[in-house]
Amino acid sequence: MNLKRTYLALAGIALAGSSAPFVLPPLASSAALFESRPLDASRFAVLARPVGAADWNLLVLEQIQTRPLCWQPRADGLIDPTLNRFDFTGICSRYLDSNGYSLRIADQDVANDYRLRLQQIGQELQLQASSPDQPELLVVGRATVPLRDRDAFVAIQLEPGWELQRRAFGGQTLSHIYFANTTPLDQLIARSSGRGAPRDSGPALSRLERATAPWSAGVIQPRRQVQAQPPVQSIPLAQPGRTIALQVIPFRE
């Protein structure tokens, strides 16, 4: 039985039997329709696949049967997608795009508001959740890129609080995967922006002061001592028939 058709059909019958207009907000709808179930993280791998010269694609692999292995770590730190070398039907599952995975925060599906993307910053690769209505990015996972190989993947480690869950409907699990976090969205945004970070008990410098401080470049520059000079007195102009006495200023090294 197709569960998706079932719950859509039930929703259609409910709407047809009501004469009053009925509008269900997207978050309430997803929360009412879907649940989530925990997964065995050891059977899953969150991976980044290189695309072109600098882009990355996110995919999730699942090991259904114990053998053969769907992926294997390489000596250089990358992941070898071994499932590409055999018929993995019934052995491995792949989740390649937003049809296979999405974001779930505090028991709410937020796929309508947030999209997952991979962004490389230097040697670090971040799995980010971004929204056009929210300037703060949520970092879901990270990885260090040892090198770029078009035939190998980079393993993403999820940040604390994030885990993989499976979508469920009517008590039955579906194939869709969640990147889930039980923390409320406003708290995640506050942490991302730094508002939720603990403060130091001592005095702190502002961002501008830290950037311009002499130790910001790693070297403390001593201040140059300037020796005070004696005040310079103005010399009066000479008058005809008058001798001017000049002040003698001692010479100092």
Q: How confident is the model at residue 33 (pLDDT cuts 50, 70, 90)?
A: confident
Each residue of 192-219: pLDDT tens digit? 887 543 333 333 333 333 333 332 333 3
Residues forming beta bridges with residue 124, ordered by sequence position: 121, 144
Rounded Cα distance between 129 and 89, Å, is 31
With beta carbons less than 8 A apart as the criterion, state whether 145 and 167 touch: no
pTM comes to 0.66
Rounded Cα distance between 101 and 163, Å, is 12
Determine how many CB atoms are found less than 10 A away from the CB of residue 87.
8
Each residue of 215-237: pLDDT tens digit? 233 333 333 444 445 444 444 44
Each residue of 143-187: pLDDT tens digit? 999 999 999 999 999 999 999 999 999 989 999 999 999 999 999
**What would the two tokens of residue 87 be?**
């018929």
Determine how many CB atoms are found less than 10 A away from the CB of residue 183.
13
Compute the CA torsion angle 174, 60, 28, 7 (nearest 10 deg).
-20
Each residue of 83-119: pLDDT tens digit? 999 999 999 999 999 999 999 999 999 999 999 999 9
Q: What is the DSSP string of 179-224?
A: EEE-S-HHHHHHHHHTTTSPPPSS----HHHHHHSGGGGT-PPPPP
Q: What share of the chain is helix, strand, coil (3-state, %, to 5)?
A: 20, 35, 45
Rounded Cα distance between 210 and 101, Å, is 41
Determine how many CB atoms are found less than 10 A away from the CB of residue 45.
19
> Is pLDDT larger for residue 232 or for residue 66?
66
Rounded Cα distance between 152 and 74, Å, is 9
Within the chain, residue ranges assigned H as helices are 3-16, 26-33, 185-193, 207-212
Rounded Cα distance between 182 and 201, Å, is 30
